[in-house]
């Protein structure tokens, strides 16, 4: 399991980097957040209040090193400070309330996009030279479309014009949150358009990526050999070609996760979906630095965990990574 141990080590290092970045950015940017706040309030602030704000941000006259240790200590106890937007709620509570919505929406949409996109890419490579090649220009176009613009177009067509789907909130006003079929139905109904947005905007990358690797794989000798043996074309396509083509594809998928998450933040905002993307914007708009920092940290850690899951899938699919000797 050396492969996994090495990856885990790297993710821990990256998590530390994200935490340190979070600590350093407000301190390295020109002016500190408190000065920025005071400036935006046109200076009508009590010096005692400024002092209190400094303490709330963990900015003090102590050495940078001491501040860093205090910051790490607070983080270890799960203390991210108090949100200014939702004062006096703790940032961790705001995140805990909004994270499940994002995880559900982005998780399901990414999974669908990956499965459908990869299968479609494999099919496109297999049927190269047929009418299916017509999908490629469309995929090239979708590859460059901004997520939020897809969201706007879907809202316009299916929300405002056809009135098929709701265009904001995560569930209807007429249902009570709880483990009831009505609530689940309402949640799924409200998540439909945001999920379609993420799937549509992120699938093109998976299609093009899988097609390109698969086309290269199809020229390999073992694929020709499998055909020569008289295996069914379905078996050759999935068990021989696709199975090998999927390995580099998983790596590129893991690397694209950050991009998908970024797009999902914008998608949530268009749909006023109560996930952490919407909260991040609220935080930035209200100069709510503790909230911004907390959310960036959580998003980063979530992407790292997802990357590690992709590594696990890689280990399952590629026996070479399971060998102890290198």
Interface positions, 292-321, toward another protein (CB under 8 A): 292-293, 295-296, 299-300, 303-304, 307
The smaller minimum CB distance to another protein, of residues 246 and 280, is found at: 280
Task: Pick the piece of the chain touching another protein (CB under 8 A) from 28-36, 65-73, 97-105, 114-122.
Answer: 28-36
The smaller minimum CB distance to another protein, of residues 93 and 272, is found at: 272
188 and 181 Cβ atoms separated by less than 8 Å: no
Out of 34, 122, 155, 195, the only residue in the binding site for another protein (CB under 8 A) is 155
The smaller minimum CB distance to another protein, of residues 126 and 185, is found at: 126
Out of 3, 10, 183, 238, the only residue in the binding site for another protein (CB under 8 A) is 10
Give, as ranges, the residues between 221 and 250 that touch another protein (CB under 8 A).
227, 233, 236
Out of 70, 79, 90, 287, the only residue in the binding site for another protein (CB under 8 A) is 287
Q: How far is the CB of 146 from another protein (least distance, A)?
A: 5
Q: Does 67 bind another protein (CB under 8 A)?
A: no
227 and 270 Cβ atoms separated by less than 8 Å: no
Instruction: Compute the distance between CA of residue 280 and CA of residue 115 in angstroms, rounded to an integer.
Output: 29
Give, as ranges, the residues between 185 and 214 that touch another protein (CB under 8 A).
208, 212
Cβ burial, residue 35 (10 Å; 0-12/13-18/19+): middle
Out of 284, 305, 309, 312, the only residue in the binding site for another protein (CB under 8 A) is 284
214 and 128 Cβ atoms separated by less than 8 Å: no
Task: Pick the piece of the chain touching another protein (CB under 8 A) from 72-80, 87-95, 156-164, 185-193.
Answer: 156-164
Q: Does 164 bind another protein (CB under 8 A)?
A: no
Q: Does 152 bind another protein (CB under 8 A)?
A: yes
Q: Does 63 bind another protein (CB under 8 A)?
A: no
Task: Pick the piece of the chain touching another protein (CB under 8 A) from 81-89, 102-110, 152-160, 317-325.
Answer: 152-160
Q: Does 255 bind another protein (CB under 8 A)?
A: yes
Instruction: Compute the distance between CA of residue 276 and CA of residue 293 in angstroms, rounded to an integer.
Output: 12
Out of 24, 41, 51, 149, the only residue in the binding site for another protein (CB under 8 A) is 149
Q: How far is the CB of 173 from another protein (least distance, A)?
A: 18
Out of 55, 259, 312, 322, the only residue in the binding site for another protein (CB under 8 A) is 259
Give, as ranges, the residues between 100 and 139 that touch another protein (CB under 8 A).
126, 128-129, 133, 136
202 contact partners, CB below 8 Å, separation of at least 6: 109, 110, 113, 117, 147, 256, 259, 260, 263
80 and 293 Cβ atoms separated by less than 8 Å: yes
Task: Pick the piece of the chain touching another protein (CB under 8 A) from 26-34, 98-106, 108-116, 190-198.
Answer: 26-34
Give, as ranges, the residues between 29 and 58 that touch another protein (CB under 8 A).
29-31, 33, 36
Q: How far is the CB of 21 from another protein (least distance, A)?
A: 8
């Amino acid at each position: 399991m050396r492969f996994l141990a090495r990856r885990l080590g790297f993710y821990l290092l990256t998590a530390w980097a994200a935490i340190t970045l979070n600590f350093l950015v407000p301190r390295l940017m020109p002016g500190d957040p408190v000065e920025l706040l005071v400036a935006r309030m046109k200076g009508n602030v009590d010096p005692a209040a400024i002092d209190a704000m400094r303490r709330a941000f963990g900015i003090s006259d102590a050495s940078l090193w001491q501040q860093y240790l205090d910051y790490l200590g607070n983080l270890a106890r799960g203390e991210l400070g108090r949100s200014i937007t939702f004062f006096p709620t703790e940032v961790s509570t705001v995140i805990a309330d909004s994270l499940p919505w994002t995880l559900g929406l982005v998780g399901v949409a990414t999974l669908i996009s990956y499965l459908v996109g990869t299968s479609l890419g494999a099919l496109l490579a297999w049927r190269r030279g047929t009418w299916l090649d017509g999908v490629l220009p469309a995929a090239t176009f979708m590859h460059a479309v901004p997520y939020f613009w897809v969201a706007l177009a879907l809202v316009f067509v299916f929300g405002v014009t056809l009135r098929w789907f709701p265009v904001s909130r995560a569930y209807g006003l007429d249902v009570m949150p709880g483990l009831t079929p009505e609530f689940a139905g309402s949640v799924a109904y409200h998540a439909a358009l945001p999920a379609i947005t993420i799937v549509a905007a992120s699938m093109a990358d998976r299609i093009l990526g899988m097609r390109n690797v698969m086309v290269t794989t199809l020229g390999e000798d073992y694929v020709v050999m499998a055909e020569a043996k008289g295996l069914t074309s379905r078996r050759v396509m999935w068990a021989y070609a696709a199975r090998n083509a999927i390995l580099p594809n998983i790596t590129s998928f893991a690397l694209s996760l950050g991009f998908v998450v970024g797009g999902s933040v914008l998608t949530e905002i268009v749909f006023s979906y109560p996930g952490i993307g919407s909260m991040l914007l609220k935080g930035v708009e209200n100069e709510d630095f503790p909230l911004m920092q907390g959310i960036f940290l959580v998003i980063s850690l979530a992407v790292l965990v997802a990357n590690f899951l992709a590594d696990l899938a890689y280990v399952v699919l590629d026996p070479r990574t399971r060998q102890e000797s290198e």
